Amino acid sequence: MSDQHAIDAALAGDQAAWDALVNRFSGPLWSVVRAYDLSAADAADAVQGAWLRLVESLHTIRDPDRIGPWLFTTAKREAALLSRRNRGERLIADPADAEHARADPALAEHLHPDPAVAVLTADEGRRLWRAVEEMHEPCRSLFRLMATSPEAGVHQLAGRLGMPRGSYGPTRGRCLNRLRTMLTAQEATP
């Protein structure tokens, strides 16, 4: 079912059409909120927030192709808020943030154009991992560990890589930069 049909059907009250959207986007949304190092409970909250905002805004959607990127951007925003507020959180209500109020699909054109995970295909996944396999250590092991042990904390990952805990973040940042550069260079090659 195309996004347009799914939205039309969902607006008409078709639960199956909504379920199709959920099936299609649940995996990417979960992965992206977990990338903010959120606990499973917080990650679930962030994903639910994105779906709640979609149901709230369903009737305003003009361009169904933007649903994936929009859900993705909205979930990332929720995850970033949660991640920030986990440091020194007490009683928190998120939407007091003015930025929060503007998560409207009609405005999706103005959101960060970042549909990478929402549209990730199997081919691109293989390409991504081929790039990782070409990398030197510690990047290659770091990415393998990080991707296959989502529950492991920084301390555990650093230990398994044999590096001091304080080095993990900066090393991960450098490796991500290198991977990003490799992917961008591949794209520039016809």
Partner 1 sequence: MTRHPPTIDDESLIAALRLTAGHDPVPAHVSAAARAVFGLRLPGAATARPVPTPAPLGVRSADEARLLRFTAAELTVDLEVTAMDGLVDLAGQVSPCPEAGTRVEVRTLHLTESRELSPTGQFAVTGLPPGWFSVVCHRPEHSPVATSWTRIRP
Nearest-angstrom CA–CA distance, 53 and 10: 14
Tokens of 109: 């054109």
Give per-residue burial for 132-155: e unless 16+ CB within 10 Å, then b.
beebeebbebbbebbeeeeeeeee
Q: Biggest alpha carbon distance in the chain? A: 56
Closest CB to partner 1 among residues 114, 165: 114
CB of 159 to partner 1, least distance (A): 19
Nearest-angstrom CA–CA distance, 109 and 42: 28
Nearest-angstrom CA–CA distance, 44 and 14: 24
Cα 136 to its chain centre, rounded Å, is 26
CB of 72 to partner 1, least distance (A): 8
Closest CB to partner 1 among residues 87, 101: 101
CB of 71 to partner 1, least distance (A): 10
Closest CB to partner 1 among residues 76, 168: 76
CB of 4 to partner 1, least distance (A): 15
Closest CB to partner 1 among residues 32, 161: 32
